[in-house]
Amino acid sequence: MWAFDQLYNRYCKRLLSFSLSIVKSREEAENILQEVFLALWLNRNQISNEASVKYYIFTIAYNTSISALRRKAKDEKFLEQLKDLQELTAEPEDLQTEYSDLQGKLSEILNDLPARQREIFILHKVNGLKYQEIASKLNISVNTIENHMSRALKTIRSKLGKNSLCATIFFYLFFI
């Protein structure tokens, strides 16, 4: 334990500075420092001398820092995708208006569907019937029901558009 404390005291400031120079966040650099010394502790029996300890801990610090940057880039990319869908600063009244518009647009889309697709869609999504129940009621196969539902959902998805976060959420909440 004494040797571990000595290593910590000897390298913690340099490792913190090293990680901070990569991730540019003190909090993240401190987390990396903890991960480095945890890995050192867990693998303490596999390291033979001080030279390999230094190499080992700086390698872990580097790899962990790079992983942190990748996670951050992935998170930022996800946030950018959300922003691309729609600005999240909409007022509640705007959301209510958009929801009403979506309902109107959905009614139009449903009216434009072929009669059989519309009938099957309404029986399943509005009336809550299972595919087997619809098949029995309409005297057609379950496979035919699946095909009509697939086409109807594809049409609705494409006509609702991909640019509206509200439309995307609406679709997945009510139709998937």
In terms of Cα–Cα distance, which of 3, 64, 70 is closest to 35? 64
Q: Count Cα atoms within 13 angstroms, Cβ side, for 22.
A: 24
- Point out the domain boundary residue: 84, 100, 135: 84
Q: Is 51 found in the same domain as 16?
A: yes
CB atoms within 10 A of CB 133: 15
DSSP 56-111: HHHHHHHHHHHHHHHHHHHHHHHHHHHHHH--TT--HHHHHHHHHHHHHHHHHHHH
Work out the average pLDDT over 135-164. Answer: 84
Q: Report the C-alpha gap between 20 and 29 in whole angstroms.
A: 5
pLDDT of residue 31: 92
pLDDT at 35 over 80: yes
Map tokens 């309902």 to a residue: 103
Q: Is 104 found in the same domain as 141?
A: yes
pLDDT at 172 over 70: no
Question: Which CATH number goes with the domain that contains 127?
Answer: 1.10.10.10
Work out the average pLDDT over 14-38. Answer: 90
Q: Report the C-alpha gap between 64 and 97 in whole angstroms.
A: 46
Its domain, for residue 35, covers 2-84
Q: Is 171 found in the same domain as 102?
A: yes
Work out the average pLDDT over 42-64. Answer: 79
Distance of CA 79 to the CA centre of its chain: 9
Q: Is 99 found in the same domain as 146?
A: yes
pLDDT of residue 67: 85
Question: Which CATH number goes with the domain that contains 58?
Answer: 1.10.1740.10
Q: Is 42 found in the same domain as 104?
A: no
Q: Which of 54-58, 112-116, 119-123 has the lowest mean pLDDT?
A: 54-58
For the whole model, what pTM was predicted? 0.44
* Biggest CA pair distance of the chain: 80
pLDDT at 130 over 80: yes
Q: How many domains does the chain have?
A: 2
Q: Is 71 found in the same domain as 133?
A: no
pLDDT of residue 163: 47
Q: Is 77 found in the same domain as 118?
A: no
